[in-house]
A and B are shown apart, each in its own frame.
Chain A
């Protein structure tokens, strides 16, 4: 792996993480993380859409003129989302029943759009695909962690219904850590989303400071 790809992977997963560093995509990060499984599913669907749309934008980057780029990006993201929505409804129906309502929300997520504008519009196809994929996976990791914290504190379970998402083989992931009556209801409600996301941003920055890194301020800047 060349240094460029290493930077892309590290950027997506940690340094420039969509949720924890850039604070983008807050809408699904709050709405969909009532459980770790929901966060994981939403994250994976977003990653698929991001990889596909980064690939397309990068392929057509010389044809898309500056003036119409934003509508074209939105068109591409929306088309990919609709594609995922239709295919999931038809062929992964159980999963669709869990996530269905939230798939259209990916269009309103500004993380894909930010990556198209900041990266895929300028870079070759392969790095763009990698960027879309790893930004998406970083998003998935962040959503899963937020979901896990909220689920454990709010409902006392971890990865409930994971077998619906990943198949019966993953039944072992479903854990009951404490009685549901002991859960703090607020953590599952919207305020819990804000609290946990905020605390995780703090934790990430503390780790970065410990490691002696300069803190990157939020924003859609690309390190590439």
Chain B
């Protein structure tokens, strides 16, 4: 008898699981296309902030390639082209901040000059480290038009470390991480320029952006 009752409980739980799995599967079916479209919109939106529309006439996401960055992260390199030539690149760079990893999007032109940098995700202290967001300040805009030679590599540091970039009052680690991430991002471009500019390179598979 006892075993039979246990079976009944199992069946009840199983039926509920099956029922809700079905409901979720149907919901997923209905929302999956819209969710992918929203993710793509977000991606194009953040890309358009680091690659000006005026320098390309292609779909940045369609001409992307997959690469491994200096730290071994799989990254997608989005490429801007105009008249069959690569005019700009955008890719994610990572820095370590005060409270973990920071994710940024770096845009460079064909000569390795910064077109723009934006913070995509971070966990820095509100009111101190979050001035790296464009919403909270224009600090991040000072990197526009700079490159590895301008200023010289040894000046790609915050002022406290003998470089040329301002830190924030009360927060040095965050800007230090950002400056370093951008420097490494530019070095990555310098080291892999040939592959990144090669339009014949295999395209990255279109995948859902996160």
Interface residues of A (CB under 8 A from B): 34, 60, 63-65, 67-68, 71-72, 75-76, 79, 82-83, 86-87, 89-91, 93, 97, 154-155, 180, 183, 185, 188-189
Contacts and interface: CB of A to CB of B under 8 A. Distances in A.
Given A79-B23, A183-B127, A188-B127, A91 B34 contact: yes
A89 B9 contact: no
Interface extent on B, as a size class? 20 to 34
A86 B31 contact: yes
Main secondary structure of the interface of A (DSSP, over half): helix
A201 to B, nearest CB: 25
Nearest to A97: B42
A31 to B, nearest CB: 13
Contacts of B16: 60, 64, 72, 75-76
A180 B127 CA distance: 9
Interface of B: 8-9, 12-13, 16-17, 20, 23-24, 27-28, 30-31, 34-35, 38, 41-42, 125-128
Contact of B9 (A68, A86, A188): A68
Given A83-B24, A83-B27, A90-B31, A75 B126 contact: no
Contact of B38 (A65, A76, A93, A180): A93
27 contacts: A63-B12, A64-B16, A65-B9, A65-B12, A68-B9, A68-B13, A72-B12, A75-B16, A76-B20, A79-B23, A79-B24, A82-B24, A82-B27, A86-B31, A89-B34, A89-B35, A90-B34, A90-B35, A91-B31, A93-B38, A93-B41, A97-B42, A180-B127, A183-B127, A185-B127, A185-B128, A189-B125
